[in-house]
Amino acid sequence: MESWAGSRRAVGVALAAVVAVACSSSDNGSGGGTYTIWDPYPQFDNASDWVKLLSRCGTDAGVTVTRTGNDTTDLTKKALLAAQQGNSPDVLVVDNPVVSTLAEAGVLTTTEETKLDTSAMAPNLLAAGQSGGKAYGLPIGANTLALYYNKAVLDAAGVTPASIKDWTSLTAALAKVTTAGKKGITFSAIGTEEGSFQFLPWFWGSGAQLSTLDSPDGVAALSLWTEWLTKGYAPNSVINNTQTTSWQEFATGQYAFAENGTWQLANARKAGFEYGIIAIPGRTGGTAPAPTGGEFVTIPAQQRTDRYATAQKLVNCLASSDNLLATDTTLSYIAPTEAVQGKQVAQSPELKVWVDAVKAAKGRTGDDLGTRYPRISEQLWKAVQSALSGAQTPQAALGQAQSAAK
């Protein structure tokens, strides 16, 4: 959820050049011809490292690759339509929550059908692309959420980042910061998927499950956020904040903390103040499970199954250890394999907290929620909005959400 994965890409990005789509390819099945790849990266043009990699993978497989980039929402719609018309691309790169939707619609092949090797992939990341016990692709990388902090603000309030181990110690830190005349924490609680994405670490970190929104644990998580607004530890603007606007608040230098993702690292380096990053704490300690963002490389179902062998070569090329390091650096992602994660940390030690966060993360459609997730998520963000605005108590808001989600 780069945040959330498609939203950042869709805003203000012009595609300088798009490779033409050629779904009706000419090939002999066993080699040669044209193979199509669709991805959710419209910000990358033909001169980008990403598109160069696609071309190189095609060359290695002995075929010509044609590629089209669309924003996430458009890509999902086009993939469903193409499947209905029998005109699917050979390789489809999609945001991980979309995989179960496409799988249940019969758009995608399983990794068993196309003999994709999933053994090197982190199980929790692979789970985001599973439905009904079957895997439908390989994760190309992942991002997730953590807490950025402003070192000067914490120092002035006498707070050490290492002291923050659970909700109690974090709330105590926010109290010290506001007493010292600065602002506490900013995040996104907007009434969209971004709001659910940012609330999930606290919801899951309480021990709650998405199948029961109004459990005592879930109520505790929403009560935490509500308390922060009531006491002035978080601004009322979080109700309308996207992850971009909440970052802009943090960038003013007035806030101690901001909940945000790996995609803000470049902005953090340009912020003009010393920053650090800590994992989002669970209610009673440890690292809270945050939701995974990022994409899967999948192989859509084709009438000509002899095309799968070449499509498999393309996917394996994109997900190979040799290519993942450069690709995930370009996308600001954490790699889906331990071997490449180690290389990332060796290159940039500051990524270790993100690697740890990704290891603790969960797929939003996990726990066999599949295509039920979007409906549950919508009720969750509505409950968050209702409680933070003061319209309902956390208990009442989540109770109503649970009834509607059923």
Query: Can you tell me the distance from the alpha carbon of 325 to that of 318, in angstroms, rounded to the nearest whole number?
Result: 11
In order of 106, 191, 193, 293, 380, the CA distances from 400 in angstroms are 33, 16, 18, 28, 10
Q: Give yes or no for a contact between 367 and 211, defined as CB atoms under 8 angstroms apart.
A: yes
Q: What is the pLDDT along the chain (406 residues), one digit of tens a residue?
A: 544 434 333 322 222 222 332 333 445 444 579 999 999 999 899 999 999 999 999 999 999 999 999 988 899 999 999 999 999 999 999 999 999 999 999 999 999 999 999 999 999 999 999 988 899 999 999 999 999 999 999 999 999 999 999 999 999 999 999 999 999 999 999 999 999 999 999 999 999 999 999 999 999 999 999 999 999 999 999 999 999 999 999 999 999 999 999 999 999 999 999 999 999 999 999 999 999 999 999 999 999 999 999 999 999 999 999 899 998 988 889 999 999 999 999 999 989 999 999 999 999 988 778 889 999 999 999 999 999 999 999 999 999 999 999 8
- Both tokens of 344, joined, read 């990332």
pTM of the full structure = 0.86
Digit-coded pLDDT (tens) for 73-126 = 899 999 999 999 999 999 999 999 999 999 999 999 999 999 999 999 999 999
Domain 145-290+369-405 homologous superfamily, CATH: Periplasmic binding protein-like II (3.40.190.10)
Query: Can you tell me the distance from the alpha carbon of 251 to that of 272, in angstroms, rounded to the nearest whole number?
Result: 8
Domain limits of the chain? 5-142+293-360, 145-290+369-405
Fold of 5-142+293-360: D-Maltodextrin-Binding Protein; domain 2 (3.40.190)
Same fold, 5-142+293-360 and 145-290+369-405: yes
